[in-house]
Copies of this chain bind each other. A is one copy, B any other.
Amino acid sequence: MPDGELRGGIDLGGTKIEAIVVDSGNTVLGSARMPTPTTGGPGDVLAALAEAIHKAATGAGVETSKLAGVGVGSPGDIDQKTGTVSAARNLPGWDGTFPLAAKLEALIGTPVAVGNDVKVATNAEIVLGAGKPYSSLIGVFWGTGVGAGIVIDGKLWVGRGEAGEIGHTVIRQNGRRCTCGRRGCLEAYAGRGAMEARARKLEHKGAETKLFEIMREHDRDRLTSAVWEAALKADDALAHKLIDRAVSALGAGIASAVNLLDVEAVLIGGGLGVRFGDAYVERIAKAMEPHLFVADRPPQIHLVGLGDLGGALGAALLAVAPDAAAPVGVVHG
């Protein structure tokens, strides 16, 4: 790829779509953000992705067909070779398999590569972000769900393709029902989706909370990270209770992963992680302490270095020639 060619990256999240266009030095030249459709099906999400990358390309002064390629970081089961996405349970009507790469290519006129959202964001952190100094780490993405990217010996470890499901660490046997249907998972306490369901249930039962009033003021129909933040600032007791429980759950789940893998570092990202910032990274570190088996040398724990853009930057790395992504080649199809 000649110097100066532009690439696109799209982070397809459960709540929002973030699209960017970058140059060969990964400098962002254009960007666009829009809410992820909450109704309809894969076709509606596809249209939103195409619109987002069109806007980002326009911002960069280029047409999408002139991009060297576009990468998409997506939830669900990804087949990188075929570019299909299956069972993306945080996206509307996406229980089946959808040929996302082929469909998006047809709309935007340039090759599309698809990768797992958490894995591409972790890749971005180790290539460009806060993971650069470490040869082993766990990147924890705290948002609608809770996912992780595992870096072992300088490389992303994907196992048989699905490693990193830290959100489904059992932190309380026979505990709360998770959005995945199982019981006692970390995500059942800490995932934004699960916390919203819990808040709705408790409000319905008569608990007082400003969460939904703030949601309406924000012109949203979901409890976004910004809504949670505003509710905490307004000292909403229910918001504090649910977020405190989430931090405690994250402490137990992440410490368990560290006990198993003894990594050098933990990075905290995701919609809630990035929104809440360093103060909550410290809170999570404190919540890990009582559970760390080797207590006298905890791992380094940082906020992700690329903030909200890590997912889109990692997606844009999918569109580089394979050699350029060699440090973690496994995210390449």
Residues in chain A within 8 A of chain B (CB atoms): 136, 148, 150, 152-153, 157-166, 168-173, 180, 182-184, 248-249, 252-253, 255-257, 259-264, 290-291, 293-294, 297
Chain B residues near A253: list those with CB within 8 A: 170
Q: Is B165's CB under 8 angstroms from A293's CB?
A: yes
Q: Is A170's CB under 8 angstroms from B252's CB?
A: yes
Chain B residues near A173: list those with CB within 8 A: 171-172, 248-249, 252
Q: Is B260's CB under 8 angstroms from A166's CB?
A: yes
Chain B residues near A158: list those with CB within 8 A: 262
Partner of A260, one of B148, B171, B180, B183: B148
Partner of A171, one of B162, B163, B171, B290: B171
Q: Is B172's CB under 8 angstroms from A255's CB?
A: no
Chain B residues near A169: list those with CB within 8 A: 169, 256, 259-260
Partner of A166, one of B166, B184, B259, B297: B259
Q: Is A170's CB under 8 angstroms from B256's CB?
A: yes
Q: Is B170's CB under 8 angstroms from A261's CB?
A: no
Shortest C-beta distance, A142 to chain B (Å), equals 16
With contact pairs A183-B290, A293-B180, A297-B160 given, residues A260 and B260 touching in the complex (Cβ less than 8 Å): yes
- Kindly state the separation between the CA atoms of A166 and B260 in the bound complex, as whole angstroms: 5
Please, which residue of chain B has its CB at the minimum distance from the CB of A138?
B260
Partner of A257, one of B153, B260, B297: B260
- Additional 8 contacts, C-beta under 8 A, given A152-B152, A153-B153, A162-B262: A136-B159, A150-B261, A160-B294, A166-B259, A168-B256, A171-B171, A173-B252, A260-B260
- Kindly state the separation between the CA atoms of A165 and B292 in the bound complex, as whole angstroms: 10
Chain B residues near A162: list those with CB within 8 A: 262, 293-294
Shortest C-beta distance, A152 to chain B (Å), equals 5
Please, which residue of chain B has its CB at the minimum distance from the CB of A136?
B159
Shortest C-beta distance, A219 to chain B (Å), equals 34
Shortest C-beta distance, A90 to chain B (Å), equals 14
Partner of A170, one of B168, B171, B183: B171
